[in-house]
Amino acid sequence: MNKIFEKGGKLQWLHSTVDAFETFLHVPGTVTLKGTHVRDAIDLKRLLILVVIAAAPAALFGMWNVGYQHGLAMGQTGVHILEYFWFGFLKVLPLYMVSYVVGLAIEFASSQIRGEEVSEGYLVSGFFIPLIVPVDIPLWMLAVAVAFAVIFGKEVFGGTGMNIWNPALLTRAFLFFSYPNYMSGSECWIAFKKGETAVADAFTGATPLALDGPAQYGTGFWDLFIGTVPGSVGETSVIAILLGAILLIWTGIASWKIMCGSVLGALLVGWIGNAAGITDIPFYMQLLYGGFAFGTVFMATDPVTSCQTECGKWIFGILVGMLCITVRLFNPGYAEGMMLAILLCNTFAPLIDHCVTEIHISRRAKKFNAA
C-alpha cells in the first residue's frame, strides 16, 4: 500500500477503503505472526461470495419474474424470455446500486473510524436486500432503510460479526413499519412503469398471502414451486432457492439443522391449523408461500445472528418455522410472518445458546463429579 494511506500519511482517512480494494484484487501477502504458522486457504471473502452465488439463481429468476409479472399485468403476450429478463434487470439494478452504495459507504466509513479492515459482511446483506423488498419501492426509501439497518443494526454493535439482527431483514422491517403503504396491498409486488396501471382481467394482483379466504389461493402448487407468482424479487421461486440451499448445505456455510427445523416447525403449525380448522390451506403449501423458503435458506441460517450451538440451531429453526406460520394464521394485519419470526428468533438466539451452554456446563459438572 502507498505510504500516504498509512498511519500518519496525508490520505490516512482512506486507509480502510484502499485496503478493501487492494485485498479485493488479490489475497494479501500477510503472513501469520503467532500461533499456527500455516493457515487454511479459506477466508470470509470466499465464504461470503459463495452465499452470493447460492442466492444468484433466485436473483436471476426474480429478475425474469419481475418482467413476466409486469407482462401479465399489462396483458402482454408473446414476449421473449430475454425481454422479460431485461425489463426486470433494469428494475432491480437501481435497487442493487442503492443498496451497495449506501451500505458500503457506511461500512467503509465505520471501518475507518474503528481502524479495522473492511469486513465482507455487507457483500451478502447488500445482495439480499433488493431480493426481499417490493421491486417498485422508491429508491430514497430503500436508501433510508439501508442506512438505518447498517448503522443501528450493525455498526453500533461493532460491525459484522457483532450484530444481533440480520441487517437485510432489518432493512425490510424498517420499510414495513415506516412505509406500510408501499409494502402491502395489491399492487406493490408488481413493477409498473410511470403512469401504468394493470389492465389484464386475469391479473389477481397480490401475493397469495395478502388475500384472506381460501378461494383466492388460486395459484397452484407448481406455480408457487417454480415461482411464477408476484412477490418480492428473490423470494418467489422455491426451486431456485432450493438450488442455493444445496450449495449452502454442501459447503457447510449454512446449517441444515436450522433449515430442517424451520420446515418441521412450519409443517407442525400448519398441520395444527388444518386440524383445528383455522385454515383451509393445506399445511405443506405453507412452505411455498411468501418468503418462507427464502427466509429459511438464506436469512435464518445467517451464522452471526442465529444460534451457535448445534442443539440451539434445532430449537432456533423450529421456532422460526412455528412463529412464521403462527403469524400467518392468526394475524391478518401482517400477511407475511417470516421476517418477524426470524427477527424475533434473532433476538432470542443468545438466550437459547445460553440455556444450551448452561445445560452443557451442568452436564460436565455432573460428569466431573462422577469421575
Partner 1 sequence: MSEIIVLKRGLEVPVNGCADLRVSKSMTPATVAVQPDGIKGLLPRLLVKEGDRVLCGSPVIADKKNPEILLTAPVSGTVKEIVRGEKRKLLAVLIEADDKQQSVDFGAKDPNALSAEEIKRALMQSGLWPVLVQRPYGTLADPAAAPKAIFVSAFNTAPLAADTEFTLGTQVAMIQKGIDALSKLAPVHVSLNAKVKDSAFAKLSGCTLHRFQGKHPAGNVGVQISHISPIRKGETVWTLPMHGLAAIGKLFATGRYNVRRLVAITGPAAIEACYVATVPGTPIKDFAPFYGNTPELVRFISGDVLSGCNAGENGYLGWADDQLTFIHEGTDKELLGWIRPLRWNQFSTDRSYFSWLMPWRKYDMTTNLHGGPRPFLMNDAYYAKVLPMDIYPVFLAKACLAGDIDKMEKFGIYEVLPEDLATCEFVDPSKIYIQDIIAKGIDLMLKEMA
Judged by the rule CB under 8 A, the positions of this chain that interact with partner 1 are 23, 25-47, 49-50, 117, 119-121, 158-162, 250-252, 255, 303-304, 306-310, 357, 360-361, 364, 367-368, 371
Which of residues 160 and 262 has its CB atom nearest to partner 1 in the complex? Answer: 160
Q: Give the distance from CA 111 to its chain's centroid.
A: 23
Cell digits of residue 170: 432489518
CB of 248 to partner 1, least distance (A): 10
Which of residues 10 and 34 has its CB atom nearest to partner 1 in the complex? Answer: 34
CA angle 341, 328, 323 (to 5 degrees): 30
Contact 175, 142 (CB under 8 A): yes
The total of other beta-carbon atoms located within 10 Å of residue 32's CB is 9
Which of residues 46 and 193 has its CB atom nearest to partner 1 in the complex? Answer: 46
Enumerate residues 6+ apart whose C-beta is below 8 A from 149: 125, 167, 168, 170, 171, 174
Nearest to 51 by CA among 166, 171, 211, 178: 166
Which of residues 274 and 308 has its CB atom nearest to partner 1 in the complex? Answer: 308
CB of 59 to partner 1, least distance (A): 18
Which of residues 26 and 80 has its CB atom nearest to partner 1 in the complex? Answer: 26
CB of 340 to partner 1, least distance (A): 23
CB of 101 to partner 1, least distance (A): 22
Which of residues 53 and 141 has its CB atom nearest to partner 1 in the complex? Answer: 53
Which of residues 80 and 367 has its CB atom nearest to partner 1 in the complex? Answer: 367
Cα(362)–Cα(101) distance, integer angstroms:
48
CB of 162 to partner 1, least distance (A): 6
- Phi-psi region for residue 190, left (φ > 0), alpha (ψ -120 to 50) or beta? beta
CB of 35 to partner 1, least distance (A): 4
CB of 173 to partner 1, least distance (A): 22
C-alpha separations of 149 from 99, 136, 143, 152 in Å: 11, 20, 10, 6
Cα(317)–Cα(263) distance, integer angstroms:
8
| Rg over CA atoms, the chain | 22
